[in-house]
Structure 1
Amino acid sequence: MKIRHVLQGKKINTIYSVASSSTVYEALELMAEKNIGAVLVIDNDELAGIFSERDYARKVILQSRASRDTLIEEVMTAKLITVTSDQPLEDAMRVMSDKHIRHLPVVDEGQLTGIISINDVVSTIIRDQKARIDSLENYISGSY
């Protein structure tokens, strides 16, 4: 299975983003409103980074910074790890596990095409396994 299947299986494939000049508070408002754990940072139509709940906890709260006064560019993760939609899903799972990350931007030919989360990956695997089990049960019972 390819990463593209994860993107296709998402109920909503909207990319939520903020500019690096946004405040942490603005990013948190968007994350709360959309019930998401990370936002991409996009400047001039270019992917500049990602800001996650982990960034907030480690780079804002634990450093006693004020969310309304701290800019995203000061605390975002700029060294991005990305995947392509043609890569096997196992690649994304391996990267997420090895690097201890929960969100991966999907970039194809230099263009941002989506973002996947560990939840998206797990949901896709569960759907795929259920379909396989149903198919095998139908085959075994002769009702295929």
Structure 2
Amino acid sequence: MKTAADILTCRISELITAGPETTIKDALRLMAKHNIGALFIEDNGKVVGVWTERDHLRNSILPEFDIETARLKDYMTTGLIAAPHTAGIYKLLDMYLGLRLRHLLIEKDGTYIGMVSSGDAVRAALVEKTEELEKLSSFVNWEYYENWRWDKK
């Protein structure tokens, strides 16, 4: 079964980060440039939060929110949840559903090595299931079953 580490090898494994003082407008530009839905906030080399598309939706309707001056530090989500690099894709899917998340940091030896989105995990699960079905199909020969003779006595 594929793991979080396997998923990371199939995509950009670099963790895209921004500083806590980055404006929301600049954060959106960075996310658009890298085609990502979450940006991790790094302060002095340590990941301290995450800012997502969902955070933007939730906060952009607040009266005091100004995209030009708002800083990530004021709108980011803290209390990060990570999955071990050895977590299987179905464990990741369980975490996304159970915790209502769309992005998970992947951790190895106490260090964050990347991020896997729920879409990445679903795609990996579909690829794995497709491969399983193709393998099973190669074992099953329908001609054998079609030529069975059922003797009724």
Q: How far apart, CA to CA, are the structure 1 residues paired with 2:109 and 2:7?
A: 18
Contact 2:13 2:113 in 1 (8 A): no
Instruction: Report whether the alignment pairs 1:4 with 2:1.
Output: no
Q: Which runs of 5+ in 2 are unaligned?
A: 142-153
Contact 1:85 1:107 in 2 (8 A): yes
Partner residue, 2:62: 63
1:90 to partner: Cα distance: 2.5
**TM value normalised by structure 2:** 0.84
**Residue aligned with 2:140, SS:** helix
Q: How far apart, CA to CA, are the structure 2 residues paired with 1:125 and 1:26?
A: 34
Larger Rg: 2
Contact 1:106 1:113 in 2 (8 A): yes
Q: How far apart, CA to CA, are the structure 2 residues paired with 1:107 and 1:68?
A: 33
1:74 to partner: Cα distance: 0.3
Partner residue, 1:125: 125
1:5 to partner: Cα distance: 2.3
1:44 to partner: Cα distance: 1.6
| CA deviations over 1:95-114 (Å, ceiling 9, x no partner) | 21122110001111221111
Partner residue, 1:19: 19
Q: How far apart, CA to CA, are the structure 2 residues paired with 1:70 and 1:32?
A: 18
1:41 to partner: Cα distance: 0.9
**Residue aligned with 2:123, SS:** helix
1:18 to partner: Cα distance: 0.6
Amino acid at match of 2:67: S
Contact 1:9 1:124 in 2 (8 A): no
Alignment of 1:1-144 (within 5 A): 1=1, 2-10=3-11, 12-59=12-59, 61-64=60-63, 65-141=65-141
The alignment of Structure 1 onto Structure 2 pairs a total of residues equal to 139
Q: Which runs of 5+ in 1 are unaligned?
A: none
Contact 2:89 2:124 in 1 (8 A): no
1:91 to partner: Cα distance: 2.4
1:88 to partner: Cα distance: 2.7
Contact 2:83 2:107 in 1 (8 A): yes
**Residue aligned with 2:15, SS:** coil
**Residue aligned with 2:14, SS:** coil
**Aligned CA-pair RMSD:** 1.4
Q: How far apart, CA to CA, are the structure 2 residues paired with 1:93 and 1:112?
A: 19
Structure 1 runs of 4+ off > 3 angstroms?
A: none
1:135 to partner: Cα distance: 1.2
**Residue aligned with 1:105, SS:** strand
